Amino acid sequence: MSSTSIYLGWRNIFGCYKIATELRNRIMRETDLPISFALSTNKTVAKVGTGQAKPNGQLQIPFGYEKEFLAPLSVKKIPMVGDKTYHILRDMGIEKIKTVQEMPVQLMEQVFGQNGIAIWKKANGIDTTPVEQYNEQKSISTETTFEQDTIDMHHMRRVLVSMTEKLAFQLRSDEKLTACVTIKIRYADFNTHTMQARIPYTAIDDILIEKVMELFNKLFQRRILIRLIGIKFSHLVQGAYQMQLFHDINEKIQLYQTMDSLRRRFGKDAIVSAAGLE
């Protein structure tokens, strides 16, 4: 069964519902397949509306009626509300989106952290994220420019550990794995050097930190002041990390899962390893 969420700025809605209807009719006529869509002023409301239009229907939620449309629906209809969040909301006596709309946003933040703010906004039909063309991400990277050029190895290693942990968390959050690690060093004279290495696909901190440090130690040979260091993970593929028999400890995997859960709730800087602390 096909479905489509259609988001357009309210100034551009005039006439679009007719065009979308004609497109849906053509798809059904030429493919003999059912298709549903919803037209709204933002992506969140359009997505929820599409769910309400299924299995084979269409909806238009006019500008200004977003909250009214969402209010009578179950809180489980809010994007980002999974089974665990749903049960917490139900334990709080919250069943309908209207109740979330009437709650102080501070209370949602107190219970769910930053995710609580996002859930409250979606419940109120607030979503300013733009529609972006999909492009498969090939790499992720980060770099740090020091306030003062440095040769402090302990400080640079702490920064590298911290950057690696954040990138690894991003990989796991996006359900991606990397197979290539690149290190960049820019010296005080602005000469820049890089070194990379291929590794088995992974998103685990320990493996990535070990490779980052290995490359950094090989690359840092000039022993002069450093202005910038950077890390890049490339050759990304979609997938979740699989434990390697005899190499991984189940408790360690559970530790990563717990740490990631805390970061999603309280922010990516909420928890770091001792090696990455200043």
| pLDDT number for residue 69 | 97
**Do residues 28 and 34 make contact, with C-beta atoms less than 8 angstroms apart?**
yes
Where do we find the tokens 């070990």?
210
Residues of the chain with pLDDT under 50: 1, 6-11, 13, 243, 245-247, 276
CATH 1.10.150.20 domain span(s) along the chain: 74-129
**What's the pLDDT at 126?**
95
Fold observed for domain 139-276 = Dna Ligase; domain 1 (3.30.1490)
64 DSSP 8-state letter: T
CATH 3.30.1490.100 boundaries in the chain: 139-276
Q: What pLDDT, on a 0 to 100 scale, did the predictor assign at position 10? A: 43
pLDDT of residue 97: 97
Q: Which residues touch 267 (CB under 8 Å, ≥6 apart)?
A: 113, 114
Are 51 and 77 within 8 A, CB to CB? Answer: yes
- The CATH class given to the 74-129 domain equals mainly alpha
What is the per-residue pLDDT for 190? 84
